[in-house]
Amino acid sequence: MPVTKTAKRALRSAKKKFIFNKRYLSRLEISVRLAKKSRKQDKIKEALSLIDRAVNKNIIHKNKAARIKSTLSKLFPKVKPSMKLKTQKGKAQTKRQSASSRKK
């Protein structure tokens, strides 16, 4: 049992953080489980996003997140070389003016 005023305050905040972290972790685990089960791209992306946010909030360690993300990324459908999209250039490149033409 905390004795000092600051220890009581610290206990209150620790309880709040524990509840928040527990809720977030259970939400994360459920989304990862659903992503593995359904193997749908939107579910996998949602799970990856939750994992990244959990790392930023220091709920899970970055190495654990990397392991989970690795297994989830293996579930993405493989893109065959013939099915790859061709990249398109946005704007046509403009000619650069030479130094002599700028001086005129």
Mean of all residue pLDDT scores within the chain: 87
In a domain, 15, yes or no: yes
Report the sign of the C-alpha dihedral through residues 29, 35, 41, 43, in that order.
Answer: negative
Q: What is the pLDDT of residues 27-47, one digit of tens each?
A: 999 999 999 999 899 999 999
Average pLDDT over every residue of 58-66: 96
CATH of the domain at 40: 1.20.58
CA 76 from centre of chain: 15
pLDDT value of position 63 = 98
Say whether 1 sits in a helix, a strand or coil: coil
In a domain, 29, yes or no: yes
Tally of domains within the chain:
1
In a domain, 90, yes or no: no
Rounded Cα distance between 25 and 53, Å, is 11
Q: How far is CA 18 from CA 7, 9, 11, 56, 99, in A?
A: 16, 14, 10, 16, 65
